[in-house]
Amino acid sequence: MPHSVPRRLRRSLLAVLTGAALTAGALATAAPAAAHPGSGGGPRDRAPLVVQTAEGAVQGSRPGDYRLFQGIPFAAPPVGDLRFRPPAPVQPWQGVRSATAPGSPCPQVASATNPTSSVDEDCLYLNVTTPSGLDTRRTDLPVMVWIHGGSWRTGSGDRYDAGKLALEGDVVVVTINYRLGPFGFLAEDDLSADLGAVGSGSAGLLDQQAALRWVERNVAAFGGDPRNVTIFGESAGGSSVCAQLASPTARGLFDKAIAQSYSCTADYATLDEAEVVGERVAAQVGCTARGAAQVACLQDADVATLLARWPAVGGSFVVGGSSLPVQPADAIASGAAAGVPVVHGNLSDENTLFTPITPLRSTGATPSPTLTVEQYEAEIAARYGDRADEVLALYPADAYPSPLRALAEINSDAGSALSTCSHVDAYETLAERRRADRVYAYQFRDETAPKLLDFPYPGYPEDAEHASELPYLFPDLFGAPLTAEQQELATTMVRYWTNFAATGNPNGRGVPAWHRYSDPSDVQGLDVASDGGVGPVDVAADADCAFWATSAAA
């Protein structure tokens, strides 16, 4: 039987029909961390602004009721002969280093969803946020290490204002940079031979581990407990959490994990596959020698040229070196992954962000904002062949505000690492793993949440699209303030996230019960009170995962 219009489409459909679509091209992007209100003075402010780390002293700032230390180097600048190589130790310094401004973002190209452009390879910096009134004798606060998203090619840790998490959750938050694009993930045969067992394409993963080793050495000086570290991240950052779970070289560097919006059972390119791409990139930047000469050429290649030649799709973690020897799904299923408590989840409408900008399989072109029913049906036929009629029976175009929105619904339910059904697969694999520990699953469902990118298309409500949950953890990230009702949801989410960081269990006083995962009905829905509130939802039923489990892959 055809779907009825899903719950999460109702309100947005009304908005579209009444002309509430936003101005064409409107774009809200993440901004550097801003100060919270507060004088920063008075007897609560016992914690010093100068902190001694193992590498040298740093002086931070007190922009509100929290301390902020920015631009602390955790590894040597990965330049010259260190390009593509595992991160090297940072050189200690004398005196007090200013930590009142962020370090450079890693090399990246500005885009519709990313305002930052950089060609500075000296970028391995992190930022620390702590409660301002911390008793200087304390070294027992839970530590949360944020790994940013951005398709493995954009972003930086300083964009995320961690003051809300630190203050409301009484935690220390560390946000980090790591090498992106070709500098973090280029695999190439000569580079692999030069690097030996570690393989090429692993620099970005190892940068994250170098930041975690900095935390291990230094976080006690900021009031944090190095024996109680939670890694968390979203999108490419969520995939990073999954990769670190599977990485034998990350073992012991963290105690809990929160993976947001990227399935932990998604596969990555193997070293052989990634080296094929790397050879193509090398040729395009003029590096066609072999052996040491090829390595030297790649290390000398122009930053902007390498960025320009990096493929638009792909280019993430590489499986086959010593830091990621097997796919995360295989590591989890076999018990080789870290046996730590995990929170894992996605958003109900992840792919409304990506569907309008992803080429159709039927034509090779991006879909028109006014995609017709015939074009939609042709795309389903191109994807699913003999089963196209079954897919169309479940997702008929006339059950949605537009054919384009119907296509986004399919993309959000199944067929990608962001989709609901791919996440259900990850929950099941995590829950059944050997050395199993607690697993808590969630789905963010507030369809009115601030958006990373707004498409003012007729009949295209974006609802709870990819990244929409981030402003609930990091205030004002997209420049749109939350409503009072959304603030209530944000408070609940911060409590869940920081409770979990403290104890390995998101439950606690003042929040609805969140059941440990045993089946898809245990997924905790996160929504505003007027549209479902917070409580268990059966996401597998909502997304027809039983059907997709027997259907051809998207």
Q: Looking only at Cα atoms, what is the longest distance across the chain?
A: 71
State how far the alpha carbon of 443 is from the alpha carbons of 78, 222, 418, 440, 466, in Å: 38, 33, 12, 11, 11
- Count other Cβ atoms within 10 Å, centred on residue 251: 15
Please confirm, yes or no, whether 344 is among the known catalytic residues.
no
- Write down the catalytic residue from 263, 348, 466, 469: 466
- The answer to whether 464 and 452 have CB atoms below 8 angstroms apart is no
The DSSP symbol for 175 reads: E
Cα–Cα distance measured from residue 378 to residue 373, given in angstroms and rounded to the nearest whole number:
9
Cα–Cα distance measured from residue 491 to residue 413, given in angstroms and rounded to the nearest whole number:
28
Q: What is the rounded end-to-end Cα distance, in angstroms, of the chain? A: 21
Cα–Cα distance measured from residue 497 to residue 475, given in angstroms and rounded to the nearest whole number:
15
CA 155-156-160 angle, 5° bins: 105
Q: Which residues make beta-bridge pairs with 126?
A: 72, 176
Token pair 């579209």 is found at: 16
Q: Which helix (H) or strand (E) is 319 found in, with range?
A: strand 318-319
DSSP string, 34-98: -PPSS---STT--S-SEEE-SS-EEE-B-SSSEEEEEEEE-S----GGGTTSPPPPPPP-SSEEE
- Write down the catalytic residue from 188, 234, 350, 469: 350
Residue 454 amino acid letter: D
Please name the residues in contact with 522: beta carbons below 8 A apart, sequence gap of 6 or more: 441, 515, 516, 536
Q: Which residues make beta-bridge pairs with 174?
A: 128, 145
Cα–Cα distance measured from residue 85 to residue 120, given in angstroms and rounded to the nearest whole number:
16
Please confirm, yes or no, whether 235 is among the known catalytic residues.
yes
Q: Which long-range contacts (CB under 8 A, 24 or more apart) does 114-122 make?
A: 114/29, 114/150, 114/154, 114/155, 115/29, 115/30, 116/154, 116/155, 116/156, 119/303, 119/304, 119/307, 121/77, 121/78, 121/79, 121/83, 121/183, 121/303, 122/77, 122/78, 122/79
- The answer to whether 172 and 142 have CB atoms below 8 angstroms apart is yes
Q: At 145, phi and psi to the nearest 5?
A: -110, 115
- Shortest CA distance to 220 belongs to which of 286, 284, 134? 134
Please name the residues in contact with 52: beta carbons below 8 A apart, sequence gap of 6 or more: 221
CA 224-504-175 angle, 5° bins: 45
Please confirm, yes or no, whether 322 is among the known catalytic residues.
no
- The answer to whether 59 and 50 have CB atoms below 8 angstroms apart is yes
Structure tokens at 30: 């993440």
Active-site positions?
235, 350, 466
